[in-house]
């Protein structure tokens, strides 16, 4: 296991000379990555020592050999930091910091890239997958951002329990990842903290984290309001219960099994409802939601492809959804209501949202409703409704537009004009 630095140990880097960025950390980064479920580093130390969310708990050089996958990477860190779960309880998460070989010290730019984890397995955490040459990691996207001189931050936004689908937790973890990196900007990463600008980008499950970060920044991390001002959101599952219905019986049904399992680990009411309705015998039963925590993303997709979710429950999926709606859980996990924000803050922030009309994973209906609600309240959204292709294809189609849009946000700030516009 690679070595790590505890709180207070960062001081030894503070006096290093800074050019485009600080010198790389001295910890040994040559060790093989260990799955988080077996890596003792993925544990908080002495409780949660920092009193503030986004506070550093410990840091180490990223294990594995990331530079073999990322040509434009200089060095990388893993940081374990304090955040809040969906219930407002203190917890921790891990983020990976990718430092480019070249950067503009006069205009330090950082992209928080929320990978599509889409799994209830802790061993599917981005920090681990990044270090293992995993086929599900978009190294090409990461390397393009590094080539632009952007520092890239990749949070494990599902947290310590791999709570896939828990939007509030994902938003908190994304914001607090940016906070902890910003706190180290000067002394460890050679960035002028007073000039640093941030953008957030995510697709699919990563879009859920990015959207919740936008929705919660005012109440959770208000001090980031002048720095984190642009968000790119694609393939967004805006209404999780509707998404479960859309996945039922499809090749992507494994996503639904993972989401149910992830939500069970975060919401006691949801966990109780699932366990009270799930079958306990037969080939499709409650054990699937525990088993999926030990499966890779690919394994779970194959294992549960074309299963009917209703067959796992007495009374079917509709009975479960009705019970959840009775207790207001549908609103708890929905993005459709308005984000917290003051009117004067809205012009500082902009969103690029892209979504396929025929998205078979995340239906576009709730996304259209979200855009109407948010734009009517003067939130600035550039909405691309993409024709042709489905969820996976439009994830690829949106890459160029996303990078160009972020580049422009970093270059010249936000455009003026209409508060929101829809591009067919």
- Return the C-alpha torsion angle 251, 253, 258, 260, nearest 10: 170
Is residue 80 exposed (0-12), middle (13-18) or buried (19+ Cβ within 10 Å)? buried
Please enumerate in sequence order all residues whose Cβ is within 8 A of that of 12, keeping only pairs 6 or more positions apart, or say none: none
Provide the terminal-to-terminal Cα distance of the chain, rounded to the nearest Å.
50
Structure token pair of residue 7: 């709180």
Other C-beta atoms lying within 10 Å of the C-beta of residue 236: 26
176 is catalytic: no
Q: Which residues does 246 contact at the CB level (< 8 Å), separation at least 6?
A: 360, 361, 362, 363
Give the other-Cβ count within 10 Å of 242's Cβ. 17
Q: CB 281: neighbour CB atoms within 10 A?
A: 8
List the catalytic residue out of 77, 143, 248, 359: 359
The neighbouring-strand residues paired with 69 are none
The residue behind tokens 């003051």 is 342
Q: What is the CA radius of gyration of the chain?
A: 21
- Give the number of other CB atoms < 10 A from CB of residue 241: 17
The CA-based angle 145-175-71, given to 5 degrees, is: 20
Q: What DSSP state is assigned to residue 30?
A: -
Catalytic-role residue among 13, 307, 379, 391: 391
Instruction: Look at the chain and count its residues.
Output: 424
Q: Is 204 a catalytic residue?
A: yes
Examine the residue annotation and report whether 359 is marked as an active-site residue of this protein: yes
Structure tokens at 101: 């070989």
Q: Which long-range contacts (CB under 8 A, 24 or more apart) does 223-228 make?
A: 224/175, 224/178, 224/179, 224/182, 224/198, 225/345, 225/348, 225/349, 226/348, 227/182, 227/196, 227/197, 227/198, 228/112, 228/175, 228/178, 228/198, 228/199, 228/200
Query: Per the residue annotation, which of 204, 230, 246, 261 is the catalytic one?
Result: 204
Rounded CA-CA distance 33/128 in Å is 7
- Known catalytic residues? 204, 359, 391
């Amino acid at each position: 296991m690679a070595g790590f630095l505890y709180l207070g140990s960062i001081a030894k880097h503070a006096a290093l000379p800074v050019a485009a960025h600080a010198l790389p950390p001295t910890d040994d980064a040559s060790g093989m990555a260990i799955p988080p479920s077996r890596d003792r580093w993925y544990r908080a130390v002495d409780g949660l020592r920092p009193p503030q969310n986004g506070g550093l708990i410990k840091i180490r050089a990223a294990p594995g050999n990331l530079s073999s996958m990322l040509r434009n990477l200089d060095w990388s860190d893993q940081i374990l930091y304090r955040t809040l779960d969906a219930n407002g309880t203190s917890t921790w998460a891990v983020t990976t910091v990718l430092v480019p070989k070249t950067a503009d010290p006069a205009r330090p730019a950082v992209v928080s890239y929320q990978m599509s984890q889409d799994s209830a397995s802790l061993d599917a955490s981005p920090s681990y997958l990044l270090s293992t040459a995993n086929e599900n990691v978009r190294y090409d996207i990461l390397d393009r951002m590094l080539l632009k001189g952007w520092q890239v931050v990749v949070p494990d936004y599902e947290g310590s329990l791999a709570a896939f689908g828990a939007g509030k937790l994902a938003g908190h973890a994304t914001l607090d990842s940016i906070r902890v990196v910003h706190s180290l900007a000067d002394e460890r990463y050679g960035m002028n903290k007073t000039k640093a600008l941030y953008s957030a980008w995510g697709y699919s499950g990563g879009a859920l984290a990015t959207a919740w970060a936008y929705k919660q920044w005012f109440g959770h991390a208000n001090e980031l309001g002048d720095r984190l001002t642009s968000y790119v959101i694609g393939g967004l599952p805006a209404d999780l219960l509707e998404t479960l219905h859309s996945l039922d019986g499809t090749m992507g049904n494994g996503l639904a099994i993972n989401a149910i399992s992830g939500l069970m680990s975060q919401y006691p009411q949801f966990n109780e409802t699932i366990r009270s309705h799930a079958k306990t015998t037969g080939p499709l039963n409650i054990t699937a939601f525990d088993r999926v925590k030990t499966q890779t993303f690919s394994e779970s997709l194959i294992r549960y492809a074309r299963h009917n979710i209703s067959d796992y429950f007495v009374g079917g999926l509709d009975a479960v959804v009705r019970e959840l709606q009775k207790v207001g859980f549908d609103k708890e996990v929905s993005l459709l209501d308005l984000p917290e924000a003051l009117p004067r803050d809205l012009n500082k922030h902009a969103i690029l949202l892209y979504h396929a009309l025929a998205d078979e994973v995340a239906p576009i209906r709730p996304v259209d409703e979200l855009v109407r609600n948010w734009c009517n309240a003067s939130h600035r959204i550039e909405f691309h409704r993409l024709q042709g292709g489905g969820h996976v294809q439009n994830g690829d189609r949106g890459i160029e537009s996303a990078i160009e849009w972020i580049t422009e946000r970093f270059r010249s700030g936000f455009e003026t004009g209409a508060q929101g516009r829809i591009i067919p």
